[in-house]
């Protein structure tokens, strides 16, 4: 069926009028609500008679305050709601809808016309839908079917019928530019157009072109864990964000954006994706990196290595004598074996092995670690570990109180009293007078005794100690962790698995770094996990959805930890093992270990095979670099084949790159990345290419994704894309080791339209020799 452009434009004009009217009404509403909120805040206490003279007055005050607070909260929520709708309507003024289906429900005689946009719009009477939200149940037909039999799900049932027609619209600023009948056009015209465009400073929503296989991820709604394993550029990040928007719509009565947390690879990535949800009319979820999360929980006593420094070590310090030990250590400490061993270790502490720190006051021993140990293992042995620690804490507080009873008579207190300034003396006087019930005007009548002043001084001095005791700082977590590596036989008691060959050297390396006051990144999660296992988990029950992007870079240990942190949450985990760049993941090829996290009944695995980011020639090239790459299906988009140029000197390399950047800019490319393996190589490249105008260097501290020409290390380019990518040095010297294949693949798959490689000397073997098809079809594993 052919749609008349003119007729459709007339309908569009009507819709635009309704949007404008709604905006006008809401403009008035938001202004009024804002005033209301300000007014309530300003006169909050005037509306309530505050009195505590009698119990009845007190009760009346409490009720009054509560009523005012409720009124404020209602007004604030209404204001938030109208502002959010207003922002959505303004977006709809540009593109009110992007698709239409004609759906004939079984048992009815005429098809319903369903126009689909980022939000619902009803006509003036409020009875008819002019636009359906893309997340409404019926809209799923648009994404899931071609004309023919179709169905969609409503709570507890399916609605079946026939999809008679399907169109895609291109509307810009309220003007209808074109309509595509999807039964007539070959392939997806609009998707072609979208993917053929340049990139932007920020990622955009893909609601108009979500593909069927992506839609099942967006709308997936059962079990505790959804694992999405997808090729580079298959839309994992995009799908994750549309899924969050979907969940916010679907569970709008019980889920808010501050109950969702997205773990992303780095701060720059956060800025890159920050615009997608607002574009869809939703408020952004919490966005954190795992490292940020860890930092909040680590003691200040350590200098903690960050994950990028760990990678930099792995990439650049291959000649270090302890390199092999470190790699083996990283791998073991990331494993579920170690996770289990720590659990066993923690249980063993019920019987023996707890470590405490001496409690000292003014340099003198008050309670020794030995005494604490005797107290701990001699009493309350039937209680759980944490309850026993609490009992020990109470006992220590009592010991402090005992000390206070006698300490006030000691000469140091007298000395301290003699040295009090007038101000300090008056403060102490005021404080004690108030404590004795003297009103402000009568305070001068209070006669402060020397004994009371002395006791106050001691109390204040002991306060710091009390605080430390209350915060359980008498438990020596550092020693408890170190103890695991004290002698080489220790770990064998807790682990039922074989330890790495390098175990003695790993123990020594771990002890040495801890003694230097450092915590290596591979120790950071286990350390925090052990700490929280002993002192209680700071779990966050308010989070209902956890989304983890670039999940291949998380260790099984870290997944176990995240699960414990958010006990009330469901998890969506998205990743691609061919892009696993972290040292601990170099041997892992699938999410097998994740299947045990919640058990098979609670877990669904979906594989995304089609790659959208890069042109077909680029995907044809990159998929040869990895095992089972032939499973990746390129989206049919034309472009030039990637090429490699071998150069013989650094000067020549820099000259060639400078020339190439000029050519690419002349061709209109606005985002060009020169990708290096490490930060070290990036600094070197940045210096050598400094004549490129406005060249930017991305470092681990970069907070914003930048457009233009950038030099960037491989691991920061994760998750991001560029119109053109230049691989700075694809030589065997840089990418020679088989373990770097995935890094090389990640780097090359960042390119959307153009990929150019340079090689200083002999090119990497990955370029010439396709990988052996050795690894089991992950699709089979995912069943
Ligand atoms: N259905 C779609 N419609 C339009 N664009 C899409 C669609 N799916 C993916 N894309 C585009 O493809 C590119 C890659 O998407 P995205 O970054 O989400 O993939 P990814 O799987 O997370 O990639 P990687 O793992 O390589 O970082 C983005 O530009 C995205 O907008």
CA pair distance 658, 299, nearest whole angstrom:
47
Q: What is the DSSP string of 276-314?
A: HHHHTT----EEE-HHHHHHHHS-TTSEEPPHHHHHHHH
Residue 590, pLDDT score: 64
Residue 44, pLDDT score: 64
SS (HEC) of 560-612: HHHHHHCCCCEEEEEECHHHCCCHHHCCCCCCHHHHHHHCHHHEEEEEECEEC
CA pair distance 425, 432, nearest whole angstrom:
11
The CB of 210 under 6 Å from ligand 1? The reply is yes
Do the annotations mark residue 231 as ligand-binding? yes
Could you identify the atom of ligand 1 that is nearest to the CA of residue 612? 12
Residue 589, pLDDT score: 59
DSSP state of 183: T
Using left for φ > 0, alpha for ψ between -120 and 50, and beta otherwise, residue 358 falls in beta
Do the annotations mark residue 609 as ligand-binding? no
Three-class DSSP category at 498:
coil
CA distances 528 to 257, 478, 503, 532, 537, Å, are 27, 10, 22, 6, 10
Neighbour-count burial for 454-475, b at 16+ CB within 10 Å, e otherwise: bbbbbeebbeebeeebeebebb
CA pair distance 573, 236, nearest whole angstrom:
9
The CB of 236 under 6 Å from ligand 1? The reply is yes
Q: ∠ CA(480), CA(482), CA(487), 5° rounding?
A: 115
Residue 769, pLDDT score: 57
**Positions in the chain whose pLDDT score sits under 50:** 772-783
How high is the ipTM of this complex? Answer: 0.99
Instruction: Give residue 236 CA to ligand 1 midpoint distance, Å.
Output: 6
CA pair distance 617, 499, nearest whole angstrom:
45
Locus of tokens 């007298």: 414
Digit-coded pLDDT (tens) for 221-268: 989 999 999 999 999 999 999 999 999 999 999 999 999 999 998 888
Dig out the tokens for 415 from the structure.
């000395």
CA pair distance 169, 185, nearest whole angstrom:
13
Do the annotations mark residue 236 as ligand-binding? yes
The CB of 613 under 6 Å from ligand 1? The reply is yes
Do the annotations mark residue 237 as ligand-binding? yes
Exposure on the CB side of residue 482, measured as CA atoms within 13 A: 16
CA pair distance 527, 310, nearest whole angstrom:
16
The rounded radius of gyration (Å) of the Cα atoms in the chain is 32
Residue 186, pLDDT score: 52
Q: ∠ CA(525), CA(300), CA(475), 5° rounding?
A: 75
Torsion of CA 207, 208, 213, 218, to 10 degrees: 20
Could you identify the atom of ligand 1 that is nearest to the CA of residue 195? 5
CA distances 332 to 340, 488, 498, 585, 592, Å, are 12, 14, 10, 11, 17
Do the annotations mark residue 730 as ligand-binding? no
The CB of 749 under 6 Å from ligand 1? The reply is yes
Three-class DSSP category at 712:
strand
Boundaries of every domain in the chain = 5-92, 359-470, 637-781
The CB of 746 under 6 Å from ligand 1? The reply is no
Residue 582, pLDDT score: 67
The CB of 263 under 6 Å from ligand 1? The reply is no
Residue 546, pLDDT score: 97
Could you identify the atom of ligand 1 that is nearest to the CA of residue 720? 27
Looking at domain 637-781, its CATH superfamily turns out to be: P-loop containing nucleotide triphosphate hydrolases (3.40.50.300)
Could you identify the atom of ligand 1 that is nearest to the CA of residue 231? 21
DSSP lists the bridge partners of residue 604 as: 226
The CB of 722 under 6 Å from ligand 1? The reply is no
Which residue's CA is the nearest one to ligand 1's atom 23?
233
Three-class DSSP category at 175:
strand
DSSP lists the bridge partners of residue 607 as: 229
Residue 549, pLDDT score: 94
Do the annotations mark residue 161 as ligand-binding? no
Strands 518-519 and 303-304, by their bridges, are: parallel
Residue 781, pLDDT score: 38
Dig out the tokens for 113 from the structure.
């016309």
CA pair distance 553, 585, nearest whole angstrom:
7
CA pair distance 717, 313, nearest whole angstrom:
18
DSSP state of 257: G
């Amino acid at each position: 069926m052919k749609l008349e452009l003119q007729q459709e434009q007339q309908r569009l004009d009507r819709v635009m009028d309704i949007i404008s009217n709604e905006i006008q009404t809401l403009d008035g509403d938001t202004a009024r609500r804002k005033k209301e909120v300000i007014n309530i805040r300003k006169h909050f206490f005037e509306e309530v008679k505050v009195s505590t003279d009698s119990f009845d007055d007190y009760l009346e005050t409490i009720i009054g305050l509560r009523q005012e607070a409720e009124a404020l909260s209602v007004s604030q929520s209404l204001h938030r709601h109208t502002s959010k709708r207003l922002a959505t309507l303004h977006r709809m003024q540009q593109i009110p809808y992007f698709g239409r289906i004609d759906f004939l429900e079984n048992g009815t005689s005429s098809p319903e016309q369903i126009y689909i946009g980022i939000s619902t719009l009803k006509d003036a009477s409020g009875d008819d839908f002019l636009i359906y939200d893309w997340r409404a149940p019926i809209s799923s037909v648009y994404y899931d079917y071609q004309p023919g039999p179709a169905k969609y799900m409503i709570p507890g049932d399916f609605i079946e019928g026939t999809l008679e027609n399907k169109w895609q619209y291109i509307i810009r600023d309220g003007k209808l530019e074109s309509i595509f009948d999807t039964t007539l056009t070959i392939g997806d015209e609009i998707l072609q157009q979208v993917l053929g465009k340049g990139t932007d400073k920020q990622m955009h929503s893909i609601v108009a072109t979500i593909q069927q296989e992506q839609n099942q991820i967006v709308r997936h709604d059962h079990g505790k864990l959804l694992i999405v394993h997808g090729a580079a550029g298959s839309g994992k990040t995009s799908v994750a964000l549309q899924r969050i928007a979907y969940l916010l719509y679907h569970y709008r009565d019980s889920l808010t954006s501050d109950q969702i947390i997205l773990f992303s690879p780095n701060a720059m990535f956060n800025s890159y994706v920050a615009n997608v949800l607002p574009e869809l009319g939703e408020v952004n979820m919490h966005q954190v990196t795992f490292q940020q999360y860890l930092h909040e929980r680590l003691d200040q006593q350590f200098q903690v290595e960050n994950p990028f420094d760990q990678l930099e070590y792995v990439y650049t310090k291959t000649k270090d004598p302890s390199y092999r030990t470190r790699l083996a250590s990283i791998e073991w400490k990331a494993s579920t074996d170690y996770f289990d061993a720590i659990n066993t270790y923690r249980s063993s502490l019920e019987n023996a092995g707890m470590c405490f720190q001496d409690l000292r006051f003014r340099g003198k021993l008050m309670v020794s670690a030995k005494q604490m140990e005797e107290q701990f293992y001699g009493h309350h042995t039937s209680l759980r570990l944490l309850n026993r620690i609490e009992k020990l804490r109470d006992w220590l507080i009592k010991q402090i109180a005992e000390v206070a009873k006698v300490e006030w008579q000691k000469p140091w207190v007298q000395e301290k009293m003699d040295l009090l300034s007038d101000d300090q003396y008056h403060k102490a006087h005021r404080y004690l007078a108030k404590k004795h019930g003297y009103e402000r005007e009568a305070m001068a009548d209070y006669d402060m005794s020397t004994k009371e002043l002395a006791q106050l001084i001691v109390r204040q001095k002991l306060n710091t100690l009390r605080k430390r005791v209350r915060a359980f700082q008498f438990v020596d977590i550092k020693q408890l962790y170190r103890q695991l590596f004290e002698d080489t036989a220790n770990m064998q008691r807790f682990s039922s698995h074989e330890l790495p060959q390098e175990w003695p050297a790993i123990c020594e390396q771990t002890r040495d770094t801890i003694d230097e006051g450092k915590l290596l990144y591979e120790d950071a999660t286990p350390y925090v996990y052990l700490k929280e296992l002993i002192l209680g988990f700071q779990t966050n029950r308010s989070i209902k959805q956890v989304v983890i992007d670039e999940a291949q870079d998380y260790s099984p240990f870290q997944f176990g930890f995240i699960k414990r942190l958010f006990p009330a949450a469901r998890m969506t985990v998205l990743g691609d093992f061919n892009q696993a760049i972290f040292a601990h993941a170099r041997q892992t090829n699938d999410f097998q270990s994740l299947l045990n996290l919640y058990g098979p009944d609670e877990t669904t695995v979906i594989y995304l095979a089609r790659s959208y980011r890069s042109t077909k020639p680029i995907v044809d090239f990159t998929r040869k670099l990895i095992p089972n790459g032939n499973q990746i299906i390129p989206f049919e988009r034309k472009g030039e084949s990637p090429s490699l140029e071998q150069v013989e000197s650094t000067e020549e390399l820099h000259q060639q790159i400078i020339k190439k950047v000029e050519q690419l800019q002349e061709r209109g490319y606005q985002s060009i990345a020169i990708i290096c393996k490490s930060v070290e190589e990036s600094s070197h490249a940045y210096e050598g290419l400094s004549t490129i105008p406005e060249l930017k260097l991305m470092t681990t501290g970069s907070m914003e994704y930048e457009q233009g020409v950038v030099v960037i290390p491989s691991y920061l380019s994760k998750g991001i894309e560029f119109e053109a990518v230049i691989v700075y040095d694809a030589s065997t010297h840089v990418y020679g080791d088989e373990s770097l294949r995935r890094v090389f693949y990640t780097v090359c798959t960042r390119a959307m339209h153009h990929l150019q490689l340079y090689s200083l000397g002999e090119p990497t073997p990955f370029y010439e020799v396709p990988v052996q098809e050795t690894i089991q079809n992950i699709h089979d594993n995912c069943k």
